[in-house]
Amino acid sequence: MTFTIERSQIEGLVRSAIRGSLAASSAPQSASKTLAGFQPPGWVDGKPNLRVSISARHVHLTDEHVEMLFGAGSKLEPDKDLYQDGFYAAKQTVMVVGPRRRMLPNVRVLGPTRPFSQVELALTDSISLGIDAPVRHSGHVHDTPGCVLVGPAGTVKLDQGVIRAARHVHMNFADADHYGVKNSDKMQLVVKSKECSVIFDDVLVRADEAAKLEVHIDTDEGNACNLEAAMEILLRKDDCGCQKK
């Protein structure tokens, strides 16, 4: 039996091997492992392993805002690891308050902290808060509405940063090669569900060396296609031929 390794796989293997050899520096015997034993992050049995996750409403905070909300010297306390390595849901939650005192209690804080604070909501959330949040990719918060965050030790007024997070897919470069896409390309996510199949366009590729293949959609999008009960899920290159700019 013969098998061939695609260039993308080789690149992924080499990257993983480099990481593996760094991680194994205190255990030199693992350097003798065959190259085939290494896989890009998130791969299973030599293949990308597609995962689609619903990002429920959440908040990202700066170090300074963590202290203002939870008390001087406070740090985020990791509660649950997210699928992407190094990211976690914190034990802490905040209340998000909109105009006319409408509010969402117990909104989860995700870590680690960031250089700016940001609130990510689904459309349903933003309607109940009375905030007209635009669809934006993470970090693109210019000209977005603000809100007030309330924690056990204080409040923070954000002048901007309330968004509906735009759908996107995290992947490493081996995944990107596998799908024939690159960072900031758009893909399609096809979710086949009984009586409510949906094709999501505009799934932005966010390629990063350490990322694992994972699509992030919000709760409204996940509910629209009944993701929990999906029969088939497909991620594909958006090759309709029309370059959307």
Which residues are at the interface with Zn ion (CB under 5 A)? 216
Q: How many CB atoms lie within 10 A of CB 184?
A: 11
Nearer to Zn ion, 136 or 216 (CB): 216
Nearer to Zn ion, 21 or 83 (CB): 83
State the nearest-atom distance from the C-beta of 44 to Zn ion, in Å.
20
Cα 188 to Cα 225: distance, rounded to the nearest angstrom: 14
Nearer to Zn ion, 164 or 216 (CB): 216
State the nearest-atom distance from the C-beta of 206 to Zn ion, in Å.
7
State the nearest-atom distance from the C-beta of 47 to Zn ion, in Å.
22
Nearer to Zn ion, 78 or 130 (CB): 78
3-state secondary structure of 28: helix
State the nearest-atom distance from the C-beta of 27 to Zn ion, in Å.
33
The counts of H helices and E strands in the chain are 5, 15
Cα 167 to Cα 190: distance, rounded to the nearest angstrom: 13
φ/ψ of residue 180, rounded to 5: 70, 35
CB 206 within 8 A of CB 215: no
Give the gyration radius of the chain's Cα atoms.
20
Nearer to Zn ion, 65 or 216 (CB): 216
Angle, CA of 106, 51 and 176, to the nearest 5° = 120
Cα 172 to Cα 14: distance, rounded to the nearest angstrom: 13
Task: Please report which helix (H) or strand (E) contains residue 135, including its range.
Answer: strand 135-136
Residue whose C-beta lies closest to Zn ion? 216
Nearer to Zn ion, 102 or 140 (CB): 140
- Residue 16: half-sphere exposure toward Cβ, Cα within 13 Å: 24
State the nearest-atom distance from the C-beta of 32 to Zn ion, in Å.
37
State the nearest-atom distance from the C-beta of 75 to Zn ion, in Å.
23
Nearer to Zn ion, 13 or 109 (CB): 109
State the nearest-atom distance from the C-beta of 53 to Zn ion, in Å.
8
Q: Residue 215's closest CA among 171, 177, 162, 176?
A: 171
